[in-house]
């Protein structure tokens, strides 16, 4: 099937039935969520956080705090506020670690120097402070912040320590005007996290969780279990962050007649696409973001639309002996496997109709990546009991990759067949996806161009999911404005994989 034909099937036709999906997508997983304690559907309202703090004018005091098992960043009395900065502003943040253990703040997706990267190599001790000061060099987009102390990132994030970081520039403001969306009303941030029930924020992975990832049983959106939200009959912009430790979502919207509701993808991790892409579903792996426009103007009052994750094959294809070994240590209770389908959020259509707003032809301009000087393979796989990159695991004293000053490189992220999906993340730089090769059929069938790319591959990225057997080529412009060389990390954002060492250091310049 040609790329153009695939695009027609997968991304432009609203209401095409599930029957078009390859078998692997639909086979197997039933909606076992109903068996999960506390998985009641749509009884609680979505928390729409008005908690935004503008950075730039003065230094912000930010604390990491704990309350029994729950952790949070607190600033100006707000828990996990959205930090907002204009491109070019200076972020100055006085961070206080009020936890009983070391932590850091990592500014996920932002182009900062090593000192401000919070990468875990110089953790902030309990009761100590650290001032992060950096110019905001990124384009507009939804970035996020979370701790990164090596070996404890998964636990601290799961227990609640994360927030979003919105960067705004002229393209962003122009888009809001054109779509007539208002932050906190028709523009909503949706933060997805799957949680376990009954145990508060306790994080206690069994060997199986450590191998595959810590999967919850109940979906939370903005901290609320399966909420509902009343919406007007108009265009909504949803900025979605997957803050889950390990879960990948196959996101789609479904109306109350069971039909798919088409939407537009406006942007990815590193901000707006050049043009909006019509879609019916997208994959969103841990740490990825998607900026989406959904038009509710054609739906009658009283109807509803559900944001769901559809079934897919998890492709956690490890050697039998490895899996038997971890099962032998006891199965983990209260989790749903990756790829299980369930509902996340229900939109209830309310109010009078407004005219539907057209999406602008052009959203932004993407920087092109200069031709690469080097092709660098990064092989992802499992050996001797560990997830590895190029057969190595993280070593704070070893720099695995040396990038010459000012270089552009093509990285070949090659996942072995006997592996699992890995959400590969690079610190300090946004990259472009150049091509996907030898993708598994369900992924190949979602491609929107003849290079095998998905709609979500078309923008700037800092995290990209690489499926077993697949090679994802990415182009990275490693130029920096810093006089000295800088150290960054590349790792899997399945946080259990990361904590177990699926991470390498790179030196740039």
Note the residues at the interface with ligand C2O (CB under 6 A): 106, 108, 146, 148, 287, 425, 427, 489, 491, 493
Q: Which does 148 bind (CB under 5 to 8 A by kind): Cu ion, ligand C2O, none?
A: ligand C2O
Q: Which does 491 bind (CB under 5 to 8 A by kind): ligand C2O, Cu ion, none?
A: ligand C2O
Residue 370 has what DSSP assignment?
Answer: P
Return the beta strands (E) in 394-502 as ranges: 401-403, 408-415, 422-426, 431-437, 463-466, 471-477, 486-492
Q: Which residue's CB is nearer to Cu ion, number 139 or number 427? A: 427
Q: The sheet that has 129-135: what strands, in order across it?
A: 78-79, 70-75, 60-67, 90-97, 129-135
| CA-derived radius of gyration, the chain | 21
Residue 8 has what DSSP assignment?
Answer: I
Tell me if residue 228 falls in helix, strand or coil: strand
Q: Which does 422 bind (CB under 5 to 8 A by kind): ligand C2O, Cu ion, none?
A: Cu ion
Asked if 108 interacts with Cu ion (CB under 5 A), we say yes
d(CA 87, CA 95) in angstroms, rounded, equals 22
Q: Which residue's CB is nearer to ligand C2O, number 284 or number 359? A: 284
Q: Which residue's CB is nearer to Cu ion, number 159 or number 422? A: 422
Q: Is 320 exposed, middle or buried (0-12, 13-18, 19+ CB in 10 A)?
A: exposed
Q: Residues for the chain: how many in total? A: 509
Q: Which does 211 bind (CB under 5 to 8 A by kind): Cu ion, ligand C2O, none?
A: none
CB of 81 to Cu ion, least distance (A): 19
CB of 64 to ligand C2O, least distance (A): 16
d(CA 37, CA 40) in angstroms, rounded, equals 8
**By Cβ distance, which residue is nearest to Cu ion?**
492
Asked if 388 interacts with Cu ion (CB under 5 A), we say no
CB of 490 to ligand C2O, least distance (A): 9
Asked if 505 interacts with Cu ion (CB under 5 A), we say no
CB of 153 to ligand C2O, least distance (A): 8
Q: Which does 489 bind (CB under 5 to 8 A by kind): ligand C2O, Cu ion, none?
A: ligand C2O
d(CA 92, CA 86) in angstroms, rounded, equals 13
Q: Which does 155 bind (CB under 5 to 8 A by kind): ligand C2O, Cu ion, none?
A: none
Q: The sheet that has 235-242: what strands, in order across it?
A: 224-225, 218-221, 187-195, 235-242, 289-295, 263-268, 271-279
Whether residue 262 contacts residue 278, with contact meaning beta carbons closer than 8 Å, is answered with: yes
Residues in binding contact with Cu ion, number by CB under 5 A: 6
Out of 266, 349, 494, 503, which residue is the one contacting Cu ion (CB under 5 A)? 494
Give strand pairing partners of 134. Answer: 91
CB of 493 to ligand C2O, least distance (A): 6
H and E: helices and strands count for the chain: 8, 33
Choose one: 11-19, 316-324, 338-346, 418-426; the region binding Cu ion (CB under 5 A): 418-426
What angle is formed at CA 111 by the lines to CA 146 and CA 97, rounded to 5 degrees?
Answer: 30
Asked if 247 interacts with Cu ion (CB under 5 A), we say no
CB of 165 to ligand C2O, least distance (A): 11
d(CA 290, CA 1) in angstroms, rounded, equals 27
Q: Which residue's CB is nearer to Cu ion, number 237 or number 422? A: 422
Q: Which residue's CB is nearer to ligand C2O, number 106 or number 247? A: 106
Out of 6, 7, 310, 422, which residue is the one contacting Cu ion (CB under 5 A)? 422
CB of 218 to Cu ion, least distance (A): 23
**By Cβ distance, which residue is nearest to ligand C2O?**
108
d(CA 1, CA 124) in angstroms, rounded, equals 53
Tell me if residue 381 falls in helix, strand or coil: strand
CB of 489 to ligand C2O, least distance (A): 5
CB of 108 to ligand C2O, least distance (A): 4
Q: What is the DSSP string of 354-395?
A: -PPPPPPS----PPPPPPPSEEEEEEEEEETTEEEETTB---
Report the interface residues with Cu ion, using CB under 5 A.
Answer: 108, 422, 427, 492, 494, 497
């Amino acid at each position: 099937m040609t790329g153009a034909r695939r695009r027609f099937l997968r991304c432009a036709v609203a209401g095409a039935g599930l029957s078009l999906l390859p078998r692997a997508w639909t086979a197997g997983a039933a909606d076992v969520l109903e068996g999960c304690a506390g998985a009641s559907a749509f009884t609680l309202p979505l928390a729409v956080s008005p908690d935004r703090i503008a950075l730039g004018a003065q230094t912000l005091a930010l604390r990491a705090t704990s309350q029994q098992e729950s952790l949070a960043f607190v600033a100006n009395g707000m828990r996990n506020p959205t930090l907002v900065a204009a491109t070019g502003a200076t972020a100055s943040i006085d961070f206080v670690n009020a936890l009983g253990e070391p932590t850091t703040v990592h500014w996920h997706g932002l182009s900062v120097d090593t000192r401000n990267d919070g990468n875990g190599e110089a953790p902030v001790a309990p009761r100590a402070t650290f001032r992060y000061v950096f110019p905001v060099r990124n384009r507009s987009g939804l970035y996020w912040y979370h701790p990164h102390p090596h070996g404890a990132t998964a636990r601290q994030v799961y227990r609640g320590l994360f927030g979003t970081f919105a960067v705004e520039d002229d393209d962003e403001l122009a888009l809001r005007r054109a779509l007539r969306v208002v932050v906190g009303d028709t523009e909503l941030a949706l933060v997805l996290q799957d949680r376990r029930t009954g145990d508060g924020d306790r994080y206690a992975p069994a060997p199986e969780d450590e191998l595959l990832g810590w999967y919850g049983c109940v979906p939370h959106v903005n901290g609320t279990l399966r909420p509902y939200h009343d919406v007007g009959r108009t265009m909504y912009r949803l900025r979605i962050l997957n803050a889950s430790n390990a879960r990948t979502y196959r996101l789609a919207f479904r109306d109350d007649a069971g039909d798919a509701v088409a939407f537009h993808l406006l942007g990815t991790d590193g901000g707006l696409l050049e043009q909006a892409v019509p879609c019916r579903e997208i994959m969103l792996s841990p740490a990825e973001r998607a900026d989406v426009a959904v038009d509710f103007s054609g739906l009658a009052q009283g109807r509803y639309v559900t944001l769901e994750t559809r079934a897919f094959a998890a492709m956690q294809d490890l050697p039998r002996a490895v899996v038997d070994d971890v099962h032998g240590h006891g199965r983990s209770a209260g989790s749903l496997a990756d790829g299980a389908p369930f509902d996340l959020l229900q939109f209830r259509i309310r109010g009078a109709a407004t005219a539907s707003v057209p999406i602008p032809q052009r959203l932004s301009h993407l920087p092109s990546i200069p031709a690469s000087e080097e092709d660098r393979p990064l092989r992802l796989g499992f050996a001797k009991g560990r997830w590895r990159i190029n057969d190595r695991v993280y070593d704070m004293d070893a720099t695995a990759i040396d990038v010459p000053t000012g270089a552009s490189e093509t990285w070949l992220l090659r996942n072995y067949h006997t592996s699992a999906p890995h959400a590969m993340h690079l610190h300090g730089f946004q990259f472009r996806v150049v091509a996907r090769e030898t993708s598994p059929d369900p992924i190949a069938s979602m491609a929107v161009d003849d290079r095998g790319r998905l709609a979500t591959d078309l923008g700037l990225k800092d995290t990209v999911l690489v499926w077993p057997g697949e090679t994802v080529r990415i182009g990275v412009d490693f130029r920096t404005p810093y006089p000295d060389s800088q150290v960054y990390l590349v790792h899997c954002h399945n946080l259990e994989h990361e904590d177990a060492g699926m991470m390498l250091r790179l030196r740039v310049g």
